[in-house]
């Protein structure tokens, strides 16, 4: 099945009729690159909305603020009870690695699954950024 979302094309090959559990899939490389591009171009909320549509969940709110006990140790934190990503400052809103890392925690908690490890959140974010770099490099080679 292909889902078209505001110029993003996501390919899904996920649900098997025999399985009661959802197999998480990721957007294709072009869609991942577009998400990173949106975040870099100050369209973070739009990127989160599109990703949330793909993962069939509500988008997290992203705000500037800190959480007690995390004020100096992290750039951002996802708070499950509130469905919010708290960023230490507005510059973090446009950092694809941090935003995608925290979005990973959002989809893991909304899916009823354990929050997932920091390692997996890092891999999720890195996968999007690698797709962006790969496609940006290909575009440069064609010019």
Inter-residue contact 38 to 31 (CB < 8 Å): no
Give the residues across from 55 on adjacent strands. Answer: none
Cα-flanking dihedrals φ and ψ of residue 79, to 5°? -105, 110
Q: What is the predicted pLDDT for the residue at 44?
A: 97
Q: What is the predicted pLDDT for the residue at 25?
A: 74
State pTM to two decimals: 0.78
Q: What is the predicted pLDDT for the residue at 66?
A: 82
Half-sphere exposure of residue 80: CA atoms within 13 angstroms, side-chain side: 12
| pLDDT tens, residue order, the chain (143 aa) | 332 233 333 333 333 333 334 445 779 999 999 999 999 999 999 999 999 999 999 999 999 988 776 666 689 999 999 999 999 999 999 999 999 999 999 999 877 665 568 999 999 999 999 999 999 888 765 44
User: Which pair of structure tokens corresponds to residue 6?
Assistant: 């505001």
User: Which pair of structure tokens corresponds to residue 63?
Assistant: 């705000």
Q: What is the DSSP letter of 59?
A: P
Supply the Cα-derived Rg of the chain in whole angstroms.
15
Q: What is the spatial order of strands in the sheet that 84-87 belongs to?
A: 61-64, 84-87, 76-79
Q: What is the predicted pLDDT for the residue at 24?
A: 55
User: Which pair of structure tokens corresponds to residue 64?
Assistant: 């500037």
CA distances from 80 to 9, 27, 57 (A): 28, 24, 13
């Amino acid at each position: 099945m292909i889902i078209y979302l505001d110029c993003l094309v996501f390919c899904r090959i996920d649900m098997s009729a025999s399985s009661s559990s959802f197999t998480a899939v990721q957007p294709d490389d072009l869609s991942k690159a577009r998400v990173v591009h949106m975040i870099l171009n100050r369209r973070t909320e739009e990127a989160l909305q599109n990703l949330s549509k793909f993962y069939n969940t509500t988008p997290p709110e992203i705000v500037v603020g800190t959480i007690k006990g995390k004020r100096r140790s992290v750039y951002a934190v996802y708070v499950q009870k509130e469905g919010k990503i708290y960023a230490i400052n507005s510059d973090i809103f446009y950092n694809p690695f941090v935003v995608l890392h925290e979005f990973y925690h959002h989809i893991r908690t909304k899916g009823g699954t354990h929050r997932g490890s920091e390692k997996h959140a890092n891999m999720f974010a890195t996968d999007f950024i690698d797709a962006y770099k790969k496609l940006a490099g290909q575009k440069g080679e064609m010019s």
